Amino acid sequence: MTALQRIVEALLFLSPEPVSTAELAEACESTEAEIDRAIDALEPTLDGRGVVLRQVAGGWTLAAHPDAEAAARRLLAKPRTPPLTQAQAETLAIVAYLQPVSRPEIARIRGVSSESAVQTLTERGLIEESGRSRFGAVIHRTTPLFERLFGLAGLDALPDPARFDPSPEDERELRERLLKAGEQRAE
Amino acid sequence: MTALQRIVEALLFLSPEPVSTAELAEACESTEAEIDRAIDALEPTLDGRGVVLRQVAGGWTLAAHPDAEAAARRLLAKPRTPPLTQAQAETLAIVAYLQPVSRPEIARIRGVSSESAVQTLTERGLIEESGRSRFGAVIHRTTPLFERLFGLAGLDALPDPARFDPSPEDERELRERLLKAGEQRAE
Amino acid sequence: MRAAELDLDLDVFAGPFDLLMTVVLREEIALAEVELGEIVLAYLEHVEEQGDLDLEAATEFLVLIASLLELKSRLLLPAPEEERLELAPQEAAEELLARMLEYRRYRGAAEHLHRLFVDGRRYLYRSAPLPPELRRVALDAAKPSYQPDRLASAIGDLLRVPPAPDTTHIRPTVSLERRLTVLRELLSRRARLDFDEAFGTEDRLTQAVTLFALLEMHKRGEATWNQKQTFGPIEITTPTTSSASRPVSSGSGASGGDSADSR
């Protein structure tokens, strides 16, 4: 297996979404023709393995072999619900109340980068990416699983935070107030 | 590749977290001994590929080959995680070896309040609060993410800390220099 | 020797032990020549500049450096011939050594973790949601497990802004120069002072720095003090008021200042 094939395989493995030939070429600093050849060579080496190469609308992607479905269901098709850490609860609350919300916004409100909380919440299926903002930042929203795990009939059923509000007299919009408080915390 | 090897590979591909041998055995409806053999057989087939098998955080997981790191960071727009400062590394070492450990104990050993290091490590998901000590101080422990990111099969994979003690010669020198105070006073 | 002359790059030290070990291990410097007070202040200022200082941290540091100070004070103060109740210098050194060695162990462990980290971050893991069919099953199996109020209270936490930290109590009190001036002024007006009477109402940091200042004055022959028993009152005198040959005595209380008073 050539170095390029190895890197292409690694990129397809890591990417949660299909990757186009052009994107692969850019990431690998090679040409699309070289990527095409690498993929052609990669495909037969996956034959009979647990992971299969698929070409879908957006490009190339790896998927688990269908033979593993029953075992995957036994292992993974149950929600994991360990207690939320404070960082996770805050991040989830920001996404729930402000959605859609971008990752930089979450960081500004919390006053600290929240990468690991976002990643864990995504892996547990409580939040998901829902495209990109005008400025190219990933934006997030909650999932149906989130509503189910919190016993919410819908997002309208989120409790009013007024009961926990330290300055209820402030009448600005919640997003604006959270961003302002975050900036003051970060100072 | 046997059907079991294929399914194990597929499960490791799908699972967002390391999977223990016992969990794999349950999902595959096989014995742990069979899983062990399947893993042993799987490992060499990944040789030279873009994906590697790692034993971390009490289980097995797949990771992208380090050769693909630069291209992957370009593709996923994922910046390199910032390095640990010395204060953070020391704090993490104390938590890793002495957990569960309270903040005053960390401060006692480091000789300086370690608030901001504790906070940053918590933010990065490497340590977490695990309740309170008898005296009401918050106590901390490391997370599975710590073991995963540091490539540790488990906490017992940490080397004996006595290994880091200074050599008898260094210790003697330190003692002698401290004792010079006593000798000089005779003058 | 002042802290500046030691040429210490305070940025490279992760904590006081790190700093102290370096100072103690510097070949060319005898402990007696090092201005510990200078180092304390330089260190505290440095920590404060980094925005990391709270009073607790300052106290921690002082408690720590006290062990080293104890050693050093034995250089500066004449040794009493008779029995001493406190730790022998050797014991004090052993105690400090034990703490330094404990710290050294975790500093070594930290280096090891750092290497693991550098190696580990080259491996990237897949972080992808489950495929849709598995997600559907997970959704069907999901039961309410979390309290919605947890989210509302997290929003409350995020709306809360901590009060600006009050640092007025830190800086003005820890100037060694200032404590020296205060002591000199008091001693120019009165030949003897009771430490508790003069400084008992000050905060701990000020008291500690005042003690450093006293050590400094003793070294320069400007003042001395007398403490008859452990934790007893500390009486500060200027050399002119005490019998010059025995500036300090912990055992024989009738000499020095007391006898001068009774004359």
**pLDDT, tens digit (0-9, with 9 covering 90-100), for A14-40:** 998 899 999 999 999 999 999 999 999
Chain C 87-146, residues with CB within 8 Å of chain A CB atoms: 124-131, 133-135, 137-139, 141-146
**pLDDT, tens digit (0-9, with 9 covering 90-100), for B28-68:** 999 999 999 999 999 999 999 999 999 999 999 999 999 99
Residue C241 is predicted with a pLDDT of 54
| Residue A80, φ and ψ in degrees, nearest 5 | -95, 125
Asked if residues B8 and B38 have their Cβ atoms less than 8 Å apart, the reply is yes
**pLDDT, tens digit (0-9, with 9 covering 90-100), for B99-144:** 999 988 898 888 777 888 898 898 888 998 887 777 777 899 999 8
Instruction: Indicate whether B152 pLDDT > 90.
Output: yes
Among left, alpha and beta (phi > 0; psi -120 to 50; other), residue A52 is: beta
C128: nearest CA partner in chain A? A16
Q: Under an 8 A CB cutoff, do B93 and C113 touch?
A: yes
∠ CA C152-C157-C163, rounded to 5°: 155
Q: Under an 8 A CB cutoff, do A65 and B15 touch?
A: no
Instruction: Indicate whether B2 pLDDT > 80.
Output: yes
- pLDDT band at residue B96 using 50, 70 and 90 as cut-offs: very high
Nearest CA to CA, how far is B1 from chain A (Å)? 7
* Beta strands at C124-125 and B59-64: parallel, antiparallel or unpaired: antiparallel
Asked if residues A126 and A142 have their Cβ atoms less than 8 Å apart, the reply is yes
Question: Among C32, C102, C112, whose Cβ lies nearest the Cβ of B184?
Answer: C32
Cross-strand bridge partners of residue A61: A54
Q: Under an 8 A CB cutoff, do C156 and A164 touch?
A: yes
Predicted-assembly ipTM surpassing the 0.85 threshold: no
A-interface mutation test, from B28, B49, B54, B74, most A Cβ less than 10 A away: B49
Q: Name the burial class of residue A126, with classes exposed (0-12), middle (13-18) and buried (19+) by CB atoms within 10 angstroms of its CB.
A: buried
- pLDDT band at residue A163 using 50, 70 and 90 as cut-offs: confident
Q: Under an 8 A CB cutoff, do C159 and A181 touch?
A: yes
Cβ contacts of B89 on chain C, cutoff 8 Å: 110-111, 113-114, 117
* The pair of three-digit structure tokens given for residue B4, joined into one six-digit string: 């079991």
Beta strands in chain C (DSSP E): 124-125, 192-194, 224-227, 234-237
Cβ contacts of A165 on chain C, cutoff 8 Å: 155-156, 159
Residue B112 is predicted with a pLDDT of 74
Nearest CA to CA, how far is B168 from chain C (Å)? 11
DSSP string, A121-145: HHHTTSEEEEEE-TTS-EEEEE-HH
Question: Among B45, B50, B123, whose Cβ lies nearest the Cβ of A112?
Answer: B123
Cβ contacts of A24 on chain B, cutoff 8 Å: 75
d(CA C127, CA A10): 13
- pLDDT band at residue C184 using 50, 70 and 90 as cut-offs: confident
Q: Under an 8 A CB cutoff, do B93 and C130 touch?
A: no
* The pair of three-digit structure tokens given for residue C55, joined into one six-digit string: 């009073």
Residue B186 is predicted with a pLDDT of 42
- Which has more confidence, B166 or B97? B97
| Residue A109, φ and ψ in degrees, nearest 5 | -70, -40
- Which has more confidence, C249 or C105? C105
SS (H, E, C) C169-210: CCHHHCCHHHHHHHHHHHHHHCCEEEHHHHHCCCCHHHHHHH
**pLDDT, tens digit (0-9, with 9 covering 90-100), for C49-108:** 766 555 555 665 666 666 667 666 665 555 554 444 455 666 767 777 888 888 889 999
What is the overall mean pLDDT for chain A?
90
Instruction: Indicate whether B20 pLDDT > 80.
Output: yes
- pLDDT band at residue C248 using 50, 70 and 90 as cut-offs: very low
Cβ contacts of B14 on chain A, cutoff 8 Å: 64, 68, 72, 75-76
Q: Under an 8 A CB cutoff, do A64 and C131 touch?
A: yes
d(CA B128, CA B95): 10
**pLDDT, tens digit (0-9, with 9 covering 90-100), for A48-99:** 999 999 999 889 999 999 999 999 999 988 888 888 888 899 999 999 999 9
Asked if residues C159 and A181 have their Cβ atoms less than 8 Å apart, the reply is yes
C-interface mutation test, from A92, A94, A148, A167, most C Cβ less than 10 A away: A148
Helix, coil or strand: residue B48 = coil
Q: Under an 8 A CB cutoff, do A161 and C142 touch?
A: no
Sheet of B101-102, strands arranged across: B101-102, B138-142, B127-132
**Integer distance in angstroms from the first to the last C-alpha of chain A?**
51
A112: nearest CA partner in chain B? B123
| Residue A56, φ and ψ in degrees, nearest 5 | -125, -175
Q: Which residues contact A9 (CB under 8 A, 6 or more apart)?
A: A1, A42, A62, B49, B50, B51
**% of chain B with per-residue pLDDT over 70:** 95
- Which has more confidence, C20 or C263? C20
Q: Write down the residue that tokens 């971008």 correspond to.
A: A102
What is the overall mean pLDDT for chain B?
89
| Alpha-helix runs per DSSP H in B15-139 | 21-28, 32-45, 69-76, 86-98, 103-110, 115-123
Preceding omega of A100 cis (within 30 degrees of 0): yes
CA A168 to chain centre: 33
Question: Among C129, C137, C151, whose Cβ lies nearest the Cβ of A77?
Answer: C137
- pLDDT band at residue C251 using 50, 70 and 90 as cut-offs: very low
d(CA B80, CA B96): 23
A-interface mutation test, from C137, C158, C160, C167, most A Cβ less than 10 A away: C158
**pLDDT, tens digit (0-9, with 9 covering 90-100), for C125-176:** 998 888 888 888 778 888 899 999 999 999 998 998 866 655 554 444 456 7
Asked if residues C225 and C236 have their Cβ atoms less than 8 Å apart, the reply is yes
Preceding omega of C80 cis (within 30 degrees of 0): no
